[in-house]
């Protein structure tokens, strides 16, 4: 979409050398594993790059569900991705908690200057 004077409102570009086909696998209860298969611009599989597996779930909190996602490092297939998922989610949750505590610490140590 362009404005009336021909200038663009956005500057969206696509890296055609970094395209992936996305597939989702779920156990219909708690988790989803995504497989991102590298593809060329014509849609054929790019054998020169490895597939990427990610895991996703939600944790319930008093304020509602919290989405948790992680990359399943070094998983070569769906079976390996499923085996790595529990530990990867656990690490992602610990990282989220540590980040929240650090943000809380930074906020608590902030100096309040009157008039600002």
Per residue of the chain (116 residues), give pLDDT as tens.
556 677 889 999 999 999 999 999 999 999 999 999 999 999 999 999 999 999 999 999 999 999 999 999 999 999 999 999 999 999 999 999 999 999 998 888 877 777 76
Show the domain range for 58. 19-108
- For residue 78, give both structure tokens: 């769906």
Tell me if 4 is assigned to some domain: no
Put the strands of the sheet holding 32-39 in their side by side order. 19-26, 32-39, 52-61, 64-71
Tell me if 3 is assigned to some domain: no
Tell me if 9 is assigned to some domain: no
- For residue 94, give both structure tokens: 């610990």
Tell me if 40 is assigned to some domain: yes
Tell me if 5 is assigned to some domain: no
- For residue 6, give both structure tokens: 């021909």
Task: Count the domains in the chain.
Answer: 1
Tell me if 68 is assigned to some domain: yes
Tell me if 8 is assigned to some domain: no
Q: Which of 95, 54, 57 is nearest to 73 (CA)?
A: 54
Tell me if 51 is assigned to some domain: yes
């Amino acid at each position: 979409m362009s404005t009336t004077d021909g200038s663009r409102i956005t500057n969206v570009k696509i890296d055609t050398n970094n395209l992936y086909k996305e597939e989702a696998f779920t156990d219909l209860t708690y988790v989803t594993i995504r497989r991102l298969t590298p593809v060329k611009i014509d849609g054929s599989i790019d054998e020169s790059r490895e597939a990427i597996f990610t895991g996703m779930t939600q944790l319930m909190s008093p304020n509602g569900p919290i989405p948790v996602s992680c990359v399943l490092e070094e998983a070569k297939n769906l079976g390996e991705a499923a085996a790595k998922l529990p530990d990867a989610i656990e690490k992602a949750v610990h990282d989220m908690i540590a980040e929240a505590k650090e943000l809380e610490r930074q906020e608590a140590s902030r100096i309040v200057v009157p008039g600002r």
